[in-house]
A = this chain, B = another copy of it.
Amino acid sequence: MTQTTPAKARSPRIRLGMVGGGQGAFIGAVHRIAARLDDQYDLVAGCFSSSPEKSAASAAELGVPRAYDDFAQMALREARRRDGIEAVAIVTPNHMHAPVARQFLKRGIHVICDKPLTATLTEAKQLARAAGESDALFVLTHNYTGYPMIRQARAMIAAGDLGEIRLVQVEYAQDWLAEPLEASGNKQASWRTDPAKSGLGGAIGDIGTHAFNLAGFVTGLELDALAADLQSFVPGRQVDDNAHVMLRYQGGARGMLWCSQVASGCENALRLRVYGTKAGIEWSQEDPNYLWVTPLGQPRYRLSRGGAGTGPDAARVTRVPAGHPEGYLEGFANIYAEAARAILARREGAAPDPAITYPGLKEGLEGVAFVDACVRSSRRNGAWVKLAL
């Protein structure tokens, strides 16, 4: 009656660790939900803080069996365990991404790292070299690439549905730093406005990288040059809180990128519009289940996630039918699901499904180079510069 040894049992869950993400953190909790949503991971170890007490307290709250206060020790010990973690999620401030990632990569533990890749371009290049020497996978959580309708847009552009791409308009507007929040002791604000922790970019690093990445992910275009005008509107702020960037892509497409953390009344308004010779697409992160398609000379139509007219690239990252909205967490979870497919293939020695799609080191390097280029251009009064890759 009770069946305990089925024939086609599922693979055991991936043993996951986490560095960062202790009490008070935002993105750590998001990563944990994302890892849990599709039941492919077990979070079994964590270095949630460099304080032993805090790390242990977080582990206890989360029901995580193994807590560490030193990420290098964690990498070492977990690598030695028979049941040690197979992958680690890095959710620290930016300046810690590289040192943490390198410890796990060199022990063959897959890395799922929050964006941007690193705080500086030098670190990014060093990390890329380290990753190249490791067998482990490297996944960067540019989570907005996980949205099904973004996958749909990418597939349509790759298929030529928009014709030749002419224009990219991408923007990411928030308002949570419209006032000097860092002066009030807010942790999220403090490290993000501290160049030693966030890197030289403020808004351009924190959210501009998402916008730049998303435009490239959807269009497949490579940047030729950019001209940037960065501002720090809030007095005393050490990094930009608003950025205006003009873009020239290889092949002739042009674009504009705006990101802001001082746009009063904007929440998390990431929006992408792309126009080609045949059609355009329009998408907003705050309304992510829909993709507008705007053909030249025909009525505009709305593709609905899970609905008529959407293709396999969207379907493979879709859980529920059209009209049942998916959101931010589902999109984030799609990065974890894609990573799980790659990790399980690696575990089984199988070739990964070529459809698996996630951002990695290339995108991470480009993102940090983008921030670097924006800062350089702005310091040169908006001169056109190229990515220093």
- Once the chains are docked, how many angstroms separate the CA of A39 from the CA of B6? 25
- Once the chains are docked, how many angstroms separate the CA of A382 from the CA of B70? 49
Summarize A's interface: helix, strand, loop or mixed: loop
Q: Check A2 against B166 for contact (C-beta < 8 Å).
A: no
A68 within 8 A of B: yes
Binds B, one of A120-128, A215-223, A257-265, A365-373: A257-265
Q: State whether A246 and B229 are in contact (beta carbons under 8 Å apart), knowing that A59-B3, A178-B296, A299-B302 are contacts in the complex.
A: yes
CB nearest to A7 among chain B residues = B60
A10 within 8 A of B: yes
A319 within 8 A of B: yes
Q: State whether A320 and B309 are in contact (beta carbons under 8 Å apart), knowing that A63-B9, A67-B2 are contacts in the complex.
A: no
Q: Check B65 against A4 for contact (C-beta < 8 Å).
A: yes
- Once the chains are docked, how many angstroms separate the CA of A52 from the CA of B9? 15
Q: Check B299 against A307 for contact (C-beta < 8 Å).
A: yes
Give the number of chain A interface residues (Cβ < 8 Å): 110
- Which of chain A's residues 240-272 have a Cβ closer than 8 Å to chain B? 242, 244, 246, 248, 252, 254-256, 258, 260, 262-269
- Once the chains are docked, how many angstroms separate the CA of A4 from the CA of B266? 43
- Once the chains are docked, how many angstroms separate the CA of A308 from the CA of B345? 45
A313 within 8 A of B: no
- Once the chains are docked, how many angstroms separate the CA of A295 from the CA of B263? 10
Q: Check A299 against B304 for contact (C-beta < 8 Å).
A: yes
- Once the chains are docked, how many angstroms separate the CA of A171 from the CA of B319? 25
Q: State whether A68 and B244 are in contact (beta carbons under 8 Å apart), knowing that A294-B265, A295-B265 are contacts in the complex.
A: no
| Residues of B contacting A275 in the complex (Cβ-Cβ under 8 angstroms) | 175, 260, 262-266
Binds B, one of A30-38, A91-99, A100-108, A129-137: A30-38
- Which of chain A's residues 292-342 have a Cβ closer than 8 Å to chain B? 293-304, 307-309, 319-330
> A267-299, CB under 8 A of B: which get 1 and which 0?
111000001111110000111110001111111
| Residues of B contacting A255 in the complex (Cβ-Cβ under 8 angstroms) | 244
User: What is the CB-to-nearest-CB distance from A139 to chain B, in angstroms, rounded to a whole number?
Assistant: 20
A88 within 8 A of B: no
- Once the chains are docked, how many angstroms separate the CA of A275 from the CA of B37? 37
- Which of chain A's residues 41-76 have a Cβ closer than 8 Å to chain B? 52, 55-57, 59-63, 65-70, 73
- Which of chain A's residues 161-177 have a Cβ closer than 8 Å to chain B? 162-163, 166-167, 169, 171, 174-175
- Once the chains are docked, how many angstroms separate the CA of A313 from the CA of B169? 33
Residues of A whose CB lies within 8 Å of any CB of B are 1-4, 6-10, 12-13, 26, 29-30, 32-33, 36-39, 52, 55-57, 59-63, 65-70, 73, 77, 162-163, 166-167, 169, 171, 174-175, 178-179, 227, 229, 231, 233, 242, 244, 246, 248, 252, 254-256, 258, 260, 262-269, 275-280, 285-289, 293-304, 307-309, 319-330, 381-382, 384
- Contacts beyond the supplied A163-B264, A324-B327: 14 A-B pairs with Cβ under 8 Å: A2-B68, A6-B61, A12-B63, A33-B38, A36-B36, A37-B329, A169-B258, A175-B296, A262-B275, A264-B275, A267-B321, A268-B321, A288-B325, A382-B382
